[in-house]
Structure 1
Amino acid sequence: MPPTTRTLASGPCTGATNLRVTRDGQVATLTIDRPEKRNAMTVGMWAALPGVLAPLAADASVRVLVVTGEGPSFCAGADITDLLRGDDPADPMADVRRHNLAAQAALRDFPKPTLAMVRGHCIGGGVELATCCDLRFADPTAVFGVTPAKVGIVYTPSSTRALLDLVGPATTKYLLYSGELLDAPTALRTGLVDQVVEADGLEEEVRRFADVLASRSALTQRATKEVVAALTLGDDGEAVAASRYRETIAAGELAEGVRAFTERRVPRFSWPN
């Protein structure tokens, strides 16, 4: 079945027209569609993103979300022309920061596996989007940079924490102090990306892996996401894990998984939302 395409609006936010959603089976793809600006995110796009993600999160038939950019770039960051447009001269970035943080939270808290597929520029807000995804696949053209030191702003604690969890304190400081760019091999070595795939095979590999994820237990995946988040915040994760464990038993997923293993077949999980 060919992929279906739809653009999702989000109230009065005109930025939703630059966020394109396509569906192919159980895999949804969110494409940042502003290639003439290397997919830089306007304040309207940040504001629209939670509303675009919400129906995908609620749709039980969506098992995996891929986030990518139209054309040769993933996302060149926040549109710099928005940074000084706020009404408060003491904090002209207030609106941008508020919508940016809400967008990051919506992507970070998306209840299903999320994969960033990165080509070309992944800078600033692009890195924020990529690090909010569960995993990052890139091709050799990908370059990564975090540039607040170039424009005199302070990177938010949540964005800093996401970077820190992936690459550790030294590389986090290197990126934030300097604004220097990392090429794809360096990003792989430091842990900023999980796989680097040749350019002509990137989309195929992302789709292959997305299909693998779609075939696995949704409850196991959701439990993993929740426990990892709890551990990152200093919680031991025991309550979350125990709750989800009981849920897999009640849903029959544990029994189906064991039966499928002993019968040497692919499990048929119920894929609850």
Structure 2
Amino acid sequence: MEPQLLHDITDEVATVVVHHPAKRNAMTAAMWRSLPPLLEDLAADPGVRALVLTGADGTFCAGADISTLRGSPEEAQRLAVLAEEALAAFPKPTLAAVRGHCVGGGAQLAAACDLRFAEAGALFGVTPARLGIVYPASSTRRLVSLVGPATAKYLLFSGELIDTGRALRTGLVDEVLPEGQLTGRVTEFTRVLTSRSQLTQAAAKEFADGRTDRDAHWAEQARGSGDTAEGVTAFLERRAPRFSWSVR
């Protein structure tokens, strides 16, 4: 099978799989290009309420396919940043499910997700210093926002890999699961996400990502949504809420 991004939708969760197992799921230029339009389609699908990004055959993503850097490293980096920004801008909750290596461009993609769950034994690294590449400013800021400046500098200066214990302590990942339990936990957690208010999630995502100028917009959305009334009523009636607001 050619290197590509696979996807399916099950129970309102879109799963995007990085598939290039011959090179530990390294991203080719074509794969970088294909991610933004795929995300645009999934964002517009009312049947999608959350997205999971993962890799095939026990590895998340070992970065960019180095062979694509020989001709034009600037173009390769531009494509990676466009893909990263498209993932960060996805309007519904995103979760990276990480096994094995999550390195270079793989770490770039994982950092662009809202949440990161990892299987014990996964390894993380931000490796431009091994190739003499200037890591993009936007990617650096996103990494700093996750792990703080000291850990970001450690990763960027050294290009060393860190294990799940250190990744959890520094905030690079949110949960670490024993071997064999990642899929079940991701399924369980995304079921929780799809049961919650998309209104709350969309507003919280914007605010957490630094959009502080949209209070009035979200107040207006809340007034017209009916989600608050439904949430309170469902709580008092001891039933699951049926939220109606959706990302458009």
TM bucket (normalised to shorter chain) is over 0.9
User: In 1, distance between residues paired with 2:28 and 2:45?
Assistant: 27
Report the alpha carbon displacement of residue 230 of structure 1 after superposing the two structures with TM.
2.1
1:258 paired residue among 232, 240, 244: 232
| TM-score relative to the length of structure 1 | 0.88
AA partner of residue 154 (structure 2): Y
Is the Cα contact below 8 Å between 1:74 and 1:126 reproduced in 2? yes
Alignment RMSD: 1.2
Aligned to 1:41: 27
2:124 paired residue among 141, 144, 147: 144
Aligned to 1:234: none
Question: For 1:41-95, what per-residue CA distance to the aligned partner results, in whole angstroms no more than 9, with x for missing partners?
Answer: 0111111110111110001110000000001110000011111212xxxxxx121
Question: For 1:195-240, what per-residue CA distance to the aligned partner results, in whole angstroms no more than 9, with x for missing partners?
Answer: 0011211101011110100000001100011111225xxxxx1x41
AA partner of residue 37 (structure 1): K
User: In 2, distance between residues paired with 1:128 and 1:67?
Assistant: 12
1:191 aligns with 2:171: yes
1:71 match: secondary structure: coil
1:115 match: secondary structure: strand
User: In 1, distance between residues paired with 2:233 and 2:216?
Assistant: 22
User: In 2, distance between residues paired with 1:148 and 1:264?
Assistant: 52
Report the alpha carbon displacement of residue 271 of structure 1 after superposing the two structures with TM.
4.5
1:215 aligns with 2:195: yes
| TM-score relative to the length of structure 2 | 0.96
Question: For 1:224-267, what per-residue CA distance to the aligned partner results, in whole angstroms no more than 9, with x for missing partners?
Answer: 11111225xxxxx1x41331122122011111011111111111
AA partner of residue 213 (structure 1): L
Aligned to 1:125: 105
What number of residue pairs does the alignment pair up? 246
Is the Cα contact below 8 Å between 1:140 and 1:198 reproduced in 2? yes
1:206 aligns with 2:183: no
1:163 aligns with 2:181: no
AA partner of residue 96 (structure 1): A
Which blocks of at least 5 consecutive residues in structure 1 are unaligned?
Answer: 1-14, 87-92, 232-236
1:230 match: secondary structure: coil
Report the alpha carbon displacement of residue 160 of structure 1 after superposing the two structures with TM.
0.5
Over the matched positions of the two proteins, sequence identity in percent amounts to: 53
Of stretches 239-248 and 33-42 in structure 1, the one that deviates more from structure 2 is 239-248
Question: For 1:122-156, what per-residue CA distance to the aligned partner results, in whole angstroms no more than 9, with x for missing partners?
Answer: 00000000000000000112100111111111100
2:181 match: secondary structure: helix
User: In 2, distance between residues paired with 1:257 and 1:242?
Assistant: 21
1:175 match: secondary structure: helix
AA partner of residue 135 (structure 1): L
AA partner of residue 272 (structure 1): S
